[in-house]
Amino acid sequence: MFQATYILLFFSVLSSFLPHGTAAFNLTLPGQHPDPEAVATQVHRRVNASMGRREMLRLSEKDVASCLTGNPIDDCWKCDPDWANNRQRLADCGIGFGQNAKGGKGGEFYIVTDSSDEDPVNPKPGTLRYAVIRNEPLWIVFPSNMMIKLSQELIFNSYKTIDGRGADVHIVGGGCITLQYISNVIIHNIHIHHCHPSEHYGYRTESDGDGISIFSSRDIWIDHCTLSRCKDGLIDAVMGSTAITISNNHFSHHNDVMLLGHSDHYLPDSAMQVTIAFNHFGENLVQRMPRCRLGYIHVVNNDFTRWEMYAIGGSGRPTINSQGNRYTAPEDPYAKQITKRLDAGEGEWSGWNWRSEGDVMLNGAFFVASGGEAGTDYQNAYSVEPKNVDRISLLTMSAGVLGVARDNNLGMWTRGANDGGVYFSDTGPEYTDDMSQSTMPLPPSRIFPLLSAFLALLCLLFHTVTLTTLL
């Protein structure tokens, strides 16, 4: 009798810890690729194919070759003279871990006609906030230059594309962009800067003031954006987020640039996979380009033109695959090292898998590698001779918001269903590296209901056995 009672008590106590325990055991996330080295290989093949095509056409078809850069993302859509009428083709141009992000592809076009953000709870039709909270897929465009000053963080629903091509769009203010518990978002060709913490309607804590906050989300692609001067990070991805590509962006004037991972002990972040490609890390950046915790991070063909503390940092045993980047160290003789291990001694971090291949180190920059020997998949992932890394200038020359001539040509679209002009159909301070832990709640466990039901049945079984024994 007492033995059965103790068993029941044990499972009752265990059930009380389930919200935390299941979060730790949920390591297989939707969107996680089973072979990250194969994804790295595919990125290089795409670059090589674009470079090869550019060289072949350079003499034979000068008009076409003039728009080709070897950047596989840009070459996928920019050479189309009618790109304004084929905007959704962009969704097929992604690379890396976030290449399956479809955004609003297949949905209607939404034209932002109102730059205000006066009522976050009941936003007006025509505003950006009204679009991003819709349930249906939307491809969001802008008819003119806009400065959108957010009153609170801009929380998205899934299947949205923000497409700033053809206009000069700035997002500033409270928040700014929050992608939480969602998937399939593309953010393309907008300025994001001067973001600060803000309150939010409902039961939510104050936002951190990130430029873009990715929280327990997947299939996210951030491309050709210009980010600077935010209160916290420019881009932070935490709490089990995965399948992310950050490409063709320009970062400047910031301390903590990019954080990947919630904490060293939050095991779902072990499934995080991020591609960082063709970006320009520009002037007045200090650290975290990125700062990684767990997971697999592919840093490929980026241009790092100075840092003040370090470029790539990490803790918690992340895999960092650095290939074909250009690292230019600062003048400070004590800040030449590209890498920084945090909260770990050499006896621990010497086993972390941090690799460098084909990288160019300038002005005394050096990369401290660690971990075991690279496997065959990794050796095949980078097929370009290091001398060809000079092409980084070509791959990153258009990083940030594109200077596409704005002619207010949004494409030949017809008025959509709502008749309101909105929907259209398609024919200084001291620098530290202290982590600001998120105060947002843990994401809900995907297996909690199943385990709860299992334990309830188990408890019932023991109770039945106990009664049978007594009788």
Q: At what angle do helices 448-470 and 2-16 cross, to 10 degrees?
A: 170
User: Do 338 and 313 meet the contact criterion of CB atoms below 8 Å apart?
Assistant: no
Backbone angles phi, psi at 80, to 5 degrees: -80, 110
Name which of 198, 312, 311, 318 is nearest 262 in CA terms: 318
Q: How many CB atoms lie within 10 A of CB 421?
A: 14
Q: How far is CA 172 from the centre of its chain?
A: 19
Measured distance CA(171)–CA(177) in Å, rounded: 9
Measured distance CA(181)–CA(319) in Å, rounded: 24
- What DSSP state is assigned to residue 418? T
Instruction: Please give the single-letter amino acid code of residue 34.
Output: P
Task: Using DSSP, state whether 89 is helix, strand or coil.
Answer: helix
What is the DSSP track for 138-199?
EEEE-SS-EEEEESS-EEPPSSEEEE-TTS-EEEEEES-EEEES-EEEEEES-EEEEEE---
Measured distance CA(434)–CA(84) in Å, rounded: 44
- Catalytic machinery residues: 288
Q: How far is CA 130 from the centre of its chain?
A: 23
User: Do 51 and 383 meet the contact criterion of CB atoms below 8 Å apart?
Assistant: no
For residue 460, CA distances in Å to 8, 22, 50 come to 9, 21, 63
Residue with tokens 């939707």: 30
Backbone angles phi, psi at 221, to 5 degrees: -135, 120
Which residues is 319 bridged to in the sheet?
296
User: Exposure pattern of 125-153 as b/e (b: 16+ CB <10 Å)?
Assistant: ebbbbbbbebeebbbbbbeeebebebbbb
CA dihedral 75, 78, 80, 83 (to 10 degrees): 140
User: Do 285 and 307 meet the contact criterion of CB atoms below 8 Å apart?
Assistant: yes
Residues 6+ apart with CB under 8 A from 197: 174, 206, 207, 208, 209, 231, 232
Omega within 30 of 0 (cis) for the link into 176: yes
